[in-house]
Structure 1
Amino acid sequence: MTGLYDRHLAVSPEWLALYYRNPLELTHGEGRHVWDADGNRYLDFFGGILTTMTAHALPEVTKAVSEQAGRLIHSSTLYLNRPMVELAERIAALSGIPDARVFFTTSGTEANDAALLLATAQRASNQILAMRNSYHGRSFSAVSITGNRSWSTTSLSPLQTLYVHGGVRTRGPYAELSDERFIRACVADLEDLLGHTRGVAALIAEPVQGVGGFTAPPDGLYAAFREVLDRHGILWISDEVQTGWGRTGDHFWGWQAHAASGPPDILTFAKGIGNGMSIGGVVARADVMNCLDANSISTFGGSPVTMAAGLANLSYLLEHDLQGNARRVGGLLIERLRAVGAGSPAVREVRGRGLMIGIELVKPGSDEADPEAAAAVLEAARAGGLLIGKGGGHNTSVLRIAPPLSLTVAEAEEGAEILGEALHAAA
């Protein structure tokens, strides 16, 4: 492994971070497990950053990819593309957005970039509202609306971004309020902010903040925001790159936790739909999607091979009710992890819904984030045969748990036990 690591360092940017003191080379996977180059098997609770949504090496997806690759790999959007149209039809119907149009990209970053292009063009404004602690990708425009300092690599921006309260429930100036008063305070903050601006294009928000540590506002916050936005003609972009496709269990899309507002004007998606293939996209009302008055295509978005993978993966997800499994098994897993966390003075909070769970670590006896503890637990979990992620807006002190949605009860129990031992070992 040292030889491959040295080669990686010789040709890769210094900022291209790797997990673990001794970085891991994964060679193959099956179901909810992966293997490394030394033959060690791991239970995968991170799924390539919430991307392996159904299972590793899912036969239905690999078969669809192989068959399509044997016919035609690439054509671009300049030609009619049957798999792309079929997947767009299914996503449009599932989105909840009336008269929906779908545009495919190759990543969540590119999807959010396209959504910003649509919103700013439609509203003739470069002003964007974003949530504090948010993450929307690594392109120049996406970084400029990212409210998480750890991932905002430049202050230069093509957009004027204004940050709103509400994405983090248990930290910040409103943390001690009840849910109802929290929502009222965040709405008042939004109203006050809009009183100092003119012509804002859109609010972009993750229903559950992913990189930010799986934090979420009380249900209904974005419905309350929507009432304000509508009065000002401001579009709502729901970033569903991590929350989409039933991962939260209770809902197919994260925005549905705020359903009193109806669907967003624009919805972005990526990650899980491709189960590892590069798919992203934007769904928007026809009047918003069609607002561009210049040419635009996608060379690789909507590739026949990735569309075939997306169709097979989405069909498997729906036919096997993986949203229901995320709700049932995720509910059990979060109960087990809360029991584990109750016995550790380093655990500030175990939060989440479905199979999107965060464990926030602090220095015992304080509210101070402890990124060193998070790194130590990550290592200890690997030693125990479990792969997890980390994130958070407070120095990367949140363990992120997001297994494939086909996770079994036995695997949830096993993972919770390993995590409990890892927390004890790290302490």
Structure 2
Amino acid sequence: MSDLYARHRGVLPDWLALYYEDPLEITHGEGRHVWDAEGNKYLDFFGGILTTMTAHALPEVTKAVSEQAGRIVHSSTLYLNRPMVDLAERIAHVSGIPDARVFFTTSGTEANDTALLLATTHRRSNTVLAMRNSYHGRSFSAVGITGNRGWSPTSLSPLQTLYVHGGVRGRGPFADLGDAEFIDACVEDLKDLLGHTRPPAALIAEPIQGVGGFTSPPDGLYAAFREVLDAYGILWIADEVQTGWGRTGEHFWGWQAHAQNGPPDIVTFAKGIGNGMSIGGVIARSEIMNCLDANSISTFGGTQVTMAAGLANLGYLLEHDLQGNARRVGGLLIERLRAVAAQDPGVREVRGRGLMIGVELTRPGTDLADPDRASAVLEAARADGLLIGKGGGHNTSALRIAPPLSLTVAEAEEGAAVLESALRSTQ
């Protein structure tokens, strides 16, 4: 491993982050488990950053990929592509967006980039509203609207970005308010902001902020925002790269917790739909999707082999009600972790929905982030055979827990026990 690490450092960028003091090489996986190059087995509670959505080496997906690869892997969007049309039809159907059109990309970053292109073109405005503590990808435009300093290396941007309150319930100037009052205060702040600028093209928001540490507003915030946005003709883009496909348990899409005024104008997706294959995409009403007046393609978006994986993966998820499993098993896991947190003065909050759970760590008796302990918990969990993630907008002090949606009750209990031990050993 030390040789591979040295080679990594010799040829890849310094800013390409690696977990752990002794970085891990994962060689294979099955179900909810993975193995490293030394033969150690781990229960995977992070799924390649929420990307292995159903299970590692899911037979239905690997078979679909293998069979498609034996026919043709790629031809580009310049030719008719049956698997792409098949998956687009299924996604349009489950999207909730009327007269939906779907465009496939290779990542969530590229999907958000496309959504911004559509919104700014449709609205003839390069101003965008984004949430504080947000993350939308690593392209130049996506970095420019990311409201998380740790993931935004430049202030230069092709867009003018205005940041809105509301993505983080437990911090900021409105944190002490009740839910209804919190929403009212955020709406008034939005109204005030819009009174000082020309109407923006869109608001882009993650229903649950992923890199930000799995934070979210009270249900209904974006519905309340929508009433204000609609008065100005401002579009709503829901970034579902991490929340989509039933991960939150209660809903198939994260935006459905804010659905009083109907679906968003644009939805972006990626990560879990490919179960590890590179699929991203945009769903939008036809009038928005078709607003471009120049030719465009996606060389690798919608390629046959990734579409075959997406079709098999989505079919498996729906047929086995993995959304329902996320709700049931995730609910048990959250309650188990809250019981652990009640005995730990350094745990500020356990939050989340379904199998998207954040554990925020602070220095006991304060609101100060404790990133060193977060890193120590990651190391301790790994030593006991559990992989988790970390994130957060306050110095990366939130543990991120997002196993494959097929997680069993026994595996949830096993992972919770390891986390309990890791938290105790780092107090």
TM range (shorter): over 0.9
Aligned to 1:53: 53
Deviation at 1:199, TM superposition (A): 2.6
The two structures have a TM-score, normalised by structure 2, of 1.00
Are 2:44 and 1:44 aligned?
yes
Q: How does 1:138-217 map to 2 (within 5 A)?
A: 138-217=138-217
Are 2:397 and 1:397 aligned?
yes
2:118 & 2:367 partners in 1: Cα distance?
41
SS in 1 for 2:6: helix
Are 2:252 and 1:288 aligned?
no
Deviation at 1:275, TM superposition (A): 0.1
Opposite residue 117 of structure 1, the aligned amino acid is L
1:301-355 deviation line (CA, Å, top 9, x unaligned): 0000000000000000000000000000000000000011111111000000000
Equivalenced residues, count: 427
SS in 1 for 2:260: helix
SS in 1 for 2:259: helix
Aligned to 2:304: 304
1:121-153 deviation line (CA, Å, top 9, x unaligned): 000110000000000000000000000000011
Q: Give ranges in structure 2 of 5+ residues lacking alignment.
A: none
Aligned to 2:376: 376
Opposite residue 216 of structure 2, the aligned amino acid is A
Opposite residue 88 of structure 1, the aligned amino acid is A
Opposite residue 365 of structure 2, the aligned amino acid is G
1:71 & 1:34 partners in 2: Cα distance?
29
SS in 2 for 1:128: strand
Aligned to 2:32: 32
2:263 & 2:83 partners in 1: Cα distance?
26
1:365 & 1:167 partners in 2: Cα distance?
24
SS in 2 for 1:166: coil
Aligned to 2:353: 353
Opposite residue 134 of structure 2, the aligned amino acid is S
State whether residues 29 and 56 of structure 1, in contact with CA within 8 Å, keep that contact through their aligned partners in structure 2: yes
2:63 & 2:171 partners in 1: Cα distance?
46
Aligned to 1:113: 113
Opposite residue 135 of structure 1, the aligned amino acid is Y
Opposite residue 244 of structure 1, the aligned amino acid is G
Opposite residue 29 of structure 2, the aligned amino acid is G
Aligned to 2:364: 364
2:343 & 2:37 partners in 1: Cα distance?
35
Aligned to 2:69: 69
2:80 & 2:305 partners in 1: Cα distance?
14
SS in 2 for 1:302: coil
Deviation at 1:283, TM superposition (A): 0.1
SS in 2 for 1:272: helix
Aligned to 1:246: 246
RMSD of aligned residue pairs (Cα, Å): 0.4
2:365 & 2:240 partners in 1: Cα distance?
35
SS in 2 for 1:261: coil
1:190 & 1:214 partners in 2: Cα distance?
22
State whether residues 123 and 199 of structure 1, in contact with CA within 8 Å, keep that contact through their aligned partners in structure 2: no
Opposite residue 371 of structure 2, the aligned amino acid is P
Report percent identity of matched pairs: 82
Aligned to 2:324: 324
SS in 2 for 1:186: helix
Moved over 4 A (4+): none
Aligned to 2:95: 95
SS in 2 for 1:403: coil
1:364 & 1:195 partners in 2: Cα distance?
41
1:176-215 deviation line (CA, Å, top 9, x unaligned): 0000000000000000000001131000000000000000
SS in 1 for 2:163: strand
Q: Give ranges in structure 1 of 5+ residues lacking alignment.
A: none
Opposite residue 248 of structure 1, the aligned amino acid is T
Aligned to 2:227: 227
